[in-house]
Chains A and B, each alone.
Chain A
Amino acid sequence: MNLYQYTAFVPHDAMLIWNGFLWTFGIFASSTVLGSLLGFLLALLLHARVPILAWLVAGFVELFRNSPLLVQLFLVFYGLPVVTSFSPSATEAAILTMTVNTAAFMVVIVVAALDAVPRGQWHAAISSGMGYPQVMRLVVLPQAVRTVIPPAIVLAVGQLQTSSLVSIIGVNELARAGTILNNRTLRPFIVWPVIGLIYFVMAKLLSHFAARVERRVRARITWFAPAT
């Protein structure tokens, strides 16, 4: 029996990569959407200095921004079943961890954007009799959204690359498809450039798409009438 009999690429390998792509996209998209929403809510708690909760949010952010995603992933995947009755599948662990991790970074982005709205805007709004929720909704958030978008895109592109780490706990996403192909064909300089290229194209498309959204948002909440 020839040890090297399966080293050739076969048509089915394309399916392996395609499935990997779908999983990567699914995990990335769900954790980015959920993580952004969660981060947004936590940022509001932190910004409003809600007693105790704000303190907890600050601690959560510090913890998750300053520890490796891989460690967080291991804690969720291997650790949760030990201390709770919840034993997540690899995919669940991946989405949960990436969501929470994204949220931690999003909190910082949103709080910075809220803080960037000048004090005078608060003064004008509260001195006309608005309460905190009204000031936030009508005056501060619409202005903060513009500031949030660019760093949020940078974060998303970063998280897309980082999602390759979840291959380690056995999620069949793109990086794991690469590992499988590499182990079988022993041709790293063919396999990894292809995988890398797919990530690259995804990241580029994401930035491109996000830039378009940003332009549209800017057009909708523009502070200047369109040039005539």
Chain B
Amino acid sequence: MIELKAIGKSYGTLQVLNDISMSFRDGEVTAVLGPSGAGKSTLIRCINCLEILSAGDILVDGKSVRERRNVREIRRQCSMVFQQFNLYPHLTALDNIILAPVHVLGLAREAARQRARELLAMVGLADKERRYPAELSGGEQQRVGICRALAMRPRHLLLDEVTSAIDPEMTAEVLRVIENLAAQGTTMVLVTHEIDFARRVAHRIAFIERGRLIKHESSDDFFGNQSDERILRFIQKMKH
């Protein structure tokens, strides 16, 4: 479980996140929606300590991000998938996936490879393990990115606009992988602009605007039973 307790984040005088409290339960998929610049990415980057909180606290499985000695453990438990993939360009797909398992978890190289191959097969890239990131399409790179995150066997998966940098015709294959993960009960927090996708996979929706949490409710309520004018307008706008 990830608990956000009145968190705030500001850069100088710019308040990016303001007094947000909510929790992400295990086995649940939460989509974080909101207009550009609302603070969605900052929110999930705070969870695995890529950003340092200005106020409040986050507990990941009971461990506070504010304690330095927890940071590496929290990062191991919260794998992140990035908008720009951030694959290591000097390593093959397979080596990208096994790097952290071998050097952080201390897994034997062969065991890590075995696991990486299973993951690559799961996302339909079994034949691409020797390819370098530059030789893969955006969609393929992002699927490798997802494998790299899963290889750490994290308790939580954080996905930061994982389809925004991919050609539209390539996004489907990535979304399909995420949908399968959701069906398997993987805990996920995903920041996305794909509103239909959010509706399909997410159990709960968090709507953020100008750094404030406006709504945090079940997907059914959010989409089916919405009374908030701003959110209705946002949903309308995202659909077209």
Interfacial residues, chain A to chain B (CB-CB below 8 A): 118, 120-121, 123-131, 134, 138-139, 142-143, 221-225
Interface residues of B (CB under 8 A from A): 48, 50, 72-73, 75-76, 78-80, 82, 84, 86-90, 99-100, 103-104, 130-135, 148-149, 152
- Bound state CA distance, A126 and B78, in angstroms? 12
Contact of A127 among B75, B90, B99 (CB under 8 A): B75
A170 to B131, CA, bound (A): 57
A123 to B85, CA, bound (A): 11
Q: Top 4 closest A-B pairs, CB basis?
A: A128-B100, A124-B86, A120-B86, A129-B76
B90 and A120 contacting across the interface, CB-CB below 8 Å: no
The closest CB in chain B to the CB of A134 belongs to B103
Q: Is the beta-carbon distance between B90 and A143 smaller than 8 angstroms? A: yes
A118 surroundings in chain B (CB, below 8 A):
86
What separation, in Å, do the CA atoms of A130 and B82 have in the docked complex? 17
Residues of B within 8 A of A225 (CB): 130-132, 135
A123-B89 in contact (CB<8A): no
Query: Are A224 and B104 interface neighbours, CB within 8 A?
Result: no
Q: Quick one: closest A residue to B105, CB to CB?
A: A129
- The answer to whether B50 and A123 have CB atoms under 8 Å apart is yes
Q: What are 15 A-B interface contacts by the 8 Å CB criterion?
A: A123-B80, A124-B82, A125-B100, A128-B75, A128-B76, A130-B100, A131-B72, A134-B103, A134-B104, A143-B89, A223-B89, A223-B133, A223-B134, A224-B134, A224-B135
New A-B contacts (16) at CB < 8 Å, excluding given A120-B82, A127-B78, A143-B89: A118-B86, A120-B86, A124-B82, A125-B88, A128-B76, A128-B149, A129-B72, A129-B100, A129-B104, A130-B104, A142-B90, A221-B90, A222-B132, A223-B89, A223-B90, A224-B135
- Name the B residues within 8 Å of A123 (CB-CB): 50, 80, 82, 86
Give every chain A residue within 8 A of B48 (Cβ-Cβ): 127
Across the interface, name the chain B residue whose C-beta is closest to A222: B132
Residues of B within 8 A of A129 (CB): 72-73, 75-76, 100, 104, 152
**In whole angstroms, how far apart are the Cα atoms of A221 and B134 in the complex?**
13
Minimum Cβ distance to chain B for residue A178 (Å): 45
Residues in A whose Cβ lies below 8 Å from that of B90 = 142-143, 221, 223
Bound form: Cα–Cα A121–B135 in Å: 18
Task: Output the least CB separation between A102 and chain B (Å).
Answer: 27
- Return B70 CB to nearest CB of chain A, in Å: 12
Who on chain A is nearest to B99 by CB? A138
With known contacts A129-B104, A224-B132, A225-B135, A124–B75 Cβ distance under 8 A: no
How far in angstroms is the closest Cβ of chain B from A55? 24
Contacts A126-B50, A128-B76, A225-B130 given: A138-B82 contact, CB under 8 Å? no
Q: How far is the CA of A215 from the CA of B120 in the complex (A)?
A: 31
In the bound complex, do residue A127 and residue B79 qualify as a contact, i.e. CB atoms below 8 Å apart? yes
A residues within 8 A CB of B99?
128, 138-139
